[in-house]
């Protein structure tokens, strides 16, 4: 969404159309992929995020005002490894927001696992975020080398990895994910 549509003037967010969805949407992805990869643990360089957490905070407060019943979510990728700077940066933001009453209800994870599977610290990551009082969800899951056909042994292994994380299988036993078209 264009900055002018959501923030016509500094610190004044407008989601005029949100009222039409009040009570109809279970969860809002308020902040999506806000943090930078690499060792800084900071936010991506964008005009909406250069000021730190205040713009993100304003977005969450505005979303809560627009719909008090919706779950409000921050969602990012490459945050599955607990000691990683990006994971720690997101965790610090959520911890800060929860301590100050900023309305954040859920953290979404978009893991991109290599062929070796998830990092050893993945469960710790989920546990540590949940301990902050937010729901945790896998909102996307990519597994490297997941090109497969259901009839191959490798296909069954990959299908098993997806279903292990709760992604539903179709009637044929294959996960509801796209292959490598």
Known catalytic residues?
A: 33, 140
Yes or no: say if 41 and 35 are a contact pair by the CB < 8 Å rule. Answer: yes
What is the DSSP secondary-structure string of 82-98?
Answer: TTSHHHHHHHHHHHHHH
Phi-psi region of 158 (alpha: psi -120 to 50; beta: other; left: phi over 0): alpha
Q: Which residues contact 89 (CB under 8 A, 6 or more apart)?
A: 35, 40, 41, 42, 43
Residue 27, burial from CB neighbour count under 10 angstroms (0-12, 13-18, 19+): middle
Buried b (16+ CB within 10 A) or exposed e, 105-139: bbbbbbbebeeeebbebbeebbebbeebebebbeb
């Amino acid at each position: 969404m264009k900055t002018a549509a959501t923030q016509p003037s500094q610190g004044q967010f407008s989601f005029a159309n949100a009222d039409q969805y009040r009570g109809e949407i279970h969860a809002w992805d308020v902040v999506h992929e806000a943090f930078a990869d690499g060792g800084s643990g900071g936010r991506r360089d964008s005009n909406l995020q250069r000021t730190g957490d205040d713009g993100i905070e304003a977005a969450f407060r505005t979303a809560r005002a627009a719909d008090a019943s919706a779950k409000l979510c921050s969602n990012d990728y490459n945050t599955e490894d607990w000691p990683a700077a990006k994971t720690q940066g997101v965790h610090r933001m959520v911890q800060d927001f929860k301590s100050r009453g900023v309305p954040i209800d859920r953290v979404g994870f978009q893991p991109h696992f290599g062929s070796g599977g998830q990092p050893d610290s993945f469960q710790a990551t989920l546990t540590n975020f949940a301990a902050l009082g937010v729901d945790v969800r896998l909102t996307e899951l990519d597994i490297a080398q997941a090109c497969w056909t259901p009839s191959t042994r490798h296909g069954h292994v990959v299908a098993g990895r997806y279903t292990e994380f709760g992604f539903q299988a179709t009637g044929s036993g294959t996960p509801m994910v796209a292959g490598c078209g």
